[in-house]
Amino acid sequence: MTTPQDPGPASTGPGPMPAGITGAPGTEPTASGLPRFDPAGPLAAPVARDVDALAEPVAAAVLACPSVAGLSGGPFGTVGTYLPGRRVTGVQITDAEVTVRIVARPAPLRRIEAEVRAAVAPLAPGLPVQLGVDDLDAG
């Protein structure tokens, strides 16, 4: 007949951090063994951008480019920014990038790209611009 083994003393927490693992300065383990929370810790908050305020100026700047005939929602109409009561088609802005989808006039691709990037850069500094050309307007 087997008897249950004594599990030993009750655990009071996860214990100390394993050997070789160190936290950032100020994150030394607390008495419970968990890292200390520091709201001003090593991770910086992303830059806050008001994409609602940027979407329409970016769209207007892109439409002002001589090689751009219009904006496009992409192959499935998924590129756009929803604003109260309206949608800005062809412009999508995140904390990581600006996506622009266009209908271009006949011109060298490098010229179209340079015009659009130059128009968007002052409005969204530091963000890369992803450009998609969905169609050509020959008219």
Whole-number average pLDDT of the chain = 80
**1.10.10, 3.10.110, 3.30.70, 1.10.20: CATH of 51-136:** 3.30.70
Parse the chain into domains and list their residue ranges: 51-136
Q: Please, which residues have CB within 8 angstroms of residue 75's CB and are 6 or more apart in sequence?
A: 134
Say what the pLDDT of residue 29 is. Answer: 57
Q: Rounded to an integer, what distance in angstroms lies between the CA atom of residue 25 and that of residue 77?
A: 47
Mean pLDDT of 59-76: 96
